[in-house]
Structures are given as C-alpha cells and as structure tokens.
Amino acid sequence: MRLSTVILPVHRWGEGQKIWRRAEELGFHAAYTYDHLSWRSFREKTWFGAIPTLTAAAVATETMRLGTLVTSPNFRHPVTLAKELISLDDISGGRVTLGIGAGGNGFDATALGQDPWTPRERADRFGEFVPLLDRLLTEGAVSQQGAFYTAQEARNVPGCVQSPRLPFAVAATGPRGLRLAARYGQAWVTTGDPKLFDDGTPEQSVEALRGQIGRLGAACAEAGRDVAELDKILLTAFTPDRNRPLESVEAFVDFAGRHRDLGFTELVVHWPIPDSDFDTDPVVFERIATEALGRLG
C-alpha cells in the first residue's frame, strides 16, 4: 500500500513550495491537488489554479509523483487540457497522474455561464471527454466531431514522456464511469459512498466500498481486463470516519489495514490546513507519513 497527500492550492507560492518539498521529504508517493476554480468553504479564500501549481511543484520536487484529484469537464476542454498535460509531463520528467472524474454541482460547475448539468448530462460528457483525451495524448494529430467536444487537427507533438501516455486515475462509482475506468484507467478513485457521510458508520462504509470494488471488477471483466491491473485509490476524509484516522498513528494504522484488506493500493490524506475541514495536528500527520505504513501487519 502507498500513502499520498492532497495539497490544496490555498497558499501563495512562497509558502506553498515549502509544503510540496516537505511532502517529498516525508516520503509521500504522490502529492495531488484539486482542479477547481473554487471549492466549498474556501470559496471566498485564496485558491490558485491546479496546472500552474503543479508546474511549479514539478520544478520544486524531484521524485514524488504529482497530479490532479480530480479534473472534470466542468470547465475543461480535452484539446487544451491535453496540451497542458503534455507540457506538465515533460517539465516533471514523467511524474504526472491525471485524476479525472465527471464533476459535480460545485461552485465552479456553472462558472462559464452554463446551466447546471444533470447527473446524466455529466455522464454523457464524461463518456466523450475521456476517450477523446486518451486519443489526444497518444496520437500526433486528432480530428473528431463529437456531441460535446470537437478536435480539428489537434497536434500534440512530441506526446507524453510516459508511454503510451500519462496514467489516468478515473473517479467513478456508477456503471458508466466504472466502464470508463475499466477501459481507460490505470487507477480507480473513490471517496466512498456519499450517502453515508452524515449518518453512516465506518462498518457500513467498508461494505459500500467492498461493493464498489466488486462492481469495478465486473466492469473490468466485461472489458477483458484483470481488475488487479488497476490501482485502487481512496481519497480519505469523505467516509464516515472523517478525519478521525489522522488523530493518531494507531488510528491510521487500523484504518489503513481495513482498507488494504478491501484491495486498496493507495490512500490519500489531506495536508493539514488550520481552521478548515482538514485541520489536523501537523506533528501527528508527519508521524503518520513516516511511520504508519511500516506498522501495517
């Protein structure tokens, strides 16, 4: 099992670069950031763009993987996103993972002036977005006329450093998204079952996650893939456990063990942010980063 972190883009770079470097020093497998224009309780606070932040992080670090968790079609177009990702993959020396999902109804879902999309509309767009982005990152020139996205002789020479392209970590729980993960993903991402967040129990969450992994396995079988080929990533803090696993090394070891036994290969924890939903003890956080996985039985 690997341990990664999410560093939200809420710091001016003079301070932010210290955090990204510290994450690498602590040995995190990867450091991700959200790809939003604004997000929930941070809407009126400092919030920087994901791609410029990751580009700066690529220069400030050397070995740690970097990525989005997650990018969505809410305000992205596959053609321009592909160009930015190829550039970022080159600058980082091939250390980028694209976390990608269908998006939701957050503050930035209508920032470009569009009406809110229904879940079906988001799934329809996602179903066209991912295959086109796959082509744009693996082919030298792409032309495609879709219902939502068009590429006209879009050129992406020289392509990604990683071959055949940078990996996709597809966030999905529904059948259509899971089929996309099975076909195009090198990893699958979940935050658990949102219906359990307020009133569910950790035990119910484990069973819900077990069901999600089972459905991912069925989608992989349908696509002719072995589900073991996909990394399985849990973005923490959105299950009924909330931030309790970060209260002590022992609590995290217990949490990690339960989810490793389900089949998860990577856990992602949020870097502490005072006076926020992710306000955790930084001393305990660093102990978890350096000690917890070594104590898994």
d(CA 256, CA 250): 10
The answer, yes or no, to whether the previous bond of 70 is cis (omega within 30 of 0) is: yes
Report how far residue 256's alpha carbon sits from residue 212's, in angstroms, rounded to the nearest whole number: 17
Residues sharing a CB contact under 8 Å with residue 42, sequence separation 6 or more, in sequence order? 8, 10, 276
What residue has token string 């089949």? 263
- CA 276 to each of CA 173, 244, 279: distance values in angstroms, whole numbers, following the listed order: 27, 15, 5
The domain made up of 2-295 is a member of CATH 2.120.10.30: no
Per-residue pLDDT of the chain in tens (297 residues, 90 and over written 9): 999 999 999 999 999 999 999 999 999 999 999 999 999 999 999 999 999 999 999 999 999 999 999 999 999 999 999 999 999 999 999 999 999 999 998 888 899 998 999 999 999 999 999 999 999 999 999 999 999 999 999 999 999 999 999 999 999 999 999 999 999 999 999 999 999 999 999 999 999 999 999 999 999 999 999 999 999 999 999 999 999 999 999 999 999 999 999 999 999 999 999 999 999 999 999 999 999 999 997
Backbone angles phi, psi at 37, to 5 degrees: -90, -25
Q: What is the DSSP letter of 70?
A: E
For tokens 């993959």, name the residue.
89
pLDDT score recorded for residue 75: 94
- Residue ranges per domain, the chain? 2-295
Evaluate if pTM is beyond 0.85. yes
Angle made by CA atoms 129, 133, 136, in degrees to the nearest 5? 145
Identity (one letter) of the amino acid at 153?
E
